[in-house]
Structure 1
Amino acid sequence: MSATPPTELLRRARVATWLHPRWLLALKTALAAGLAWLLVQPVGGDLGQYHYYAPMGAAVAMSTTVVGSVRTSLQTIVAIAIGAAIATGVGALDAPGWLALGLTIAVATLIAGLHLLGSMGGWVLVAALFVLVIGGRDPGAYVAAYLGLTAFGALVATAVNALLPQLPLAPVARAQARLRHRLAAELDGLAEALLGEDVVHESTWEEQRRRLEPHLTSLRELVAEADDARRANWRAGRWSQTADRRYTQARALERLAGCVDEVSVLVSDQRSAVHADEESARELRETMARAMRAVATMLRSADEDPVEEDADDAPTADAERTVAELGLLVAQLASLDDKHLPAAAVWVNLERAVEAWA
């Protein structure tokens, strides 16, 4: 059996880190922590007792994005400085140990909630306790070592991250795929309800809409992270077209989720014009149902491979055609009266979804 060429191994490794960003994050964290540890070994004196704070700072500061590393580094350093100041201030009161500990914890816990500190607010309490308990009789030297070495480790992590930046688009693609399939199922259900004789109760659709929210929240968070990753990223230009496409699709999916809300209201409201017995209302229901089913099929057939961008054009073409038919019908009905305006909003959102995958 022939050995795998190095270029093929490199390609596989690149694809693996693309599909699983956590792997590269783990490697970068280990590399940054190891470098920080090696670089502080020559440091002696008071700092020499606390070399381990350098790799700790590197591990804390590492992120999938360069901007994230900078933000986390600054928040951590500020949190440690605040915690150290609290412990030093309480220590100066010369209060009994139990009282000093209680005051430190109370004040640090309050300040840890500052929005400025973000997710690193917990370090206020940790730093305060470390300084109070470990700092002993020379808190100044301990604070200098703790703060300085942690900051140095964070700097090393930021440098490593800048050299090996990530652009986590694969998690965005997977989140989109989950939301696409959920939306496709909802659209099919709504299409069936539109053509059915019985009106489905609003509570039924409310339960289904709640199922969409976790998928939407996850997608928003991942898109925000990927957007952060493009900043200060020398590799971002290579994937800018793919990234822009993912963002466009994510926005379209969010709007489509809103469209599901609007259609569910139409379907569950017996007073809606779409439920009228008129021939125009029946035609609208049928056309809207066809358009929703076509968009659902398009969403299911959309490319789910986060590396490649090829996809079958037939479902998209069918969705374009049926949504265009819905648009013509809605325009015709809207010119007669305004009771079909909700249907126009549905058409607009379906059209935007099609445009995002066209």
Structure 2
Amino acid sequence: MHQPRGESQASGRRDPVRIGVVGLGQFGRLHTATVAGVAEAELTLMVDPNAAARAAAQAAHPGVSVVADLATALQDDTVEAWIVASSTASHVPLAQQILQAGRPVLVEKPLAEDLAAAEQLAPQVAADSRNFMMGHVALFNTEFRALAEECRRRRGIRFMNLVRHRPVGTAQAFPGENPFHLTMVHDLYLVAALMEGEEPVELRARAGFRTGEVCDLALAELRWADGAWAALTASFLTPDSMGADGFDRIEVFGADWAARASVNPRPLQVWDATTTQHPLTLEISTAAGAPVGMLAEQLRAFCRMVRGAEPPPSGARYADALRVQRWLKELCHAAGL
């Protein structure tokens, strides 16, 4: 049976959590670089069925083993916990294997392609979700955390307006995806966190289509019994000149207060003779082998969960993942998707 290393008896400090990463695509590579760079974790094993992805990962982390399938990887008892950053359709089957092997897991968003698939994990997840954490990375954004604290302190949310726009080429870069599942999902779990898990009494949605086929605009409204409303907009509509990650904004209004967080791009602009550039977009950086930002903070929270120091944070538990899947199902149905 797998035995975590835990706290060093000699020094009283905790050893780094030995972590494996499944899925070595664009976001999987960010995960491996983050795990390799923070003091709380140690990149121990990498998994991907694609030979080119394995070769690239091996070149980036030459001292770390890389294999083609998870079943082989799970035979390595030195790996204490896993991150699943593969395709959405594979999230649940891979997480099931990891949980059945007795290892905790962090799964990238969204948990599954639909609610029924997400619910299949229920028998393996602990009641308090202490062995499962959802990769709801925007919960760890610096501005959002400060905004959420202001909301908790002031109370009485009346209206929330959240926008998340991406470039027009996003639909081609992620074929088959729509703004509800690809980007609005972030704002849904942020809204759930701000409303402290309270369920809305009404959900509405509409979708816009380019040439009648590709959904590139998602509009949603949620209403709660206390009169609070949330309006969410996500799109693939920004011009390429605005940058690869478009822009994101969160506004919250109370009875006698208001707050705004402009979370993307970050407040750094560079000008030259012909262009304006935003070198920092999402709050994720692995530069110079020293990860900072929301992905690094999410990893640290995962390591604390693995060590039993704290449960997964509100908004990143299995119940939170199921809530978001339910909302997505209702919204997509309302929008005719």
Q: Which is higher, the Rg of structure 1 or of structure 2?
A: 1
TM-score over 0.5 for the pair = no
Return the structure number with greater helix share.
Answer: 1
TM-score (norm 2): 0.22
TM-score, scaled relative to structure 1 = 0.21
More strand by share: 2
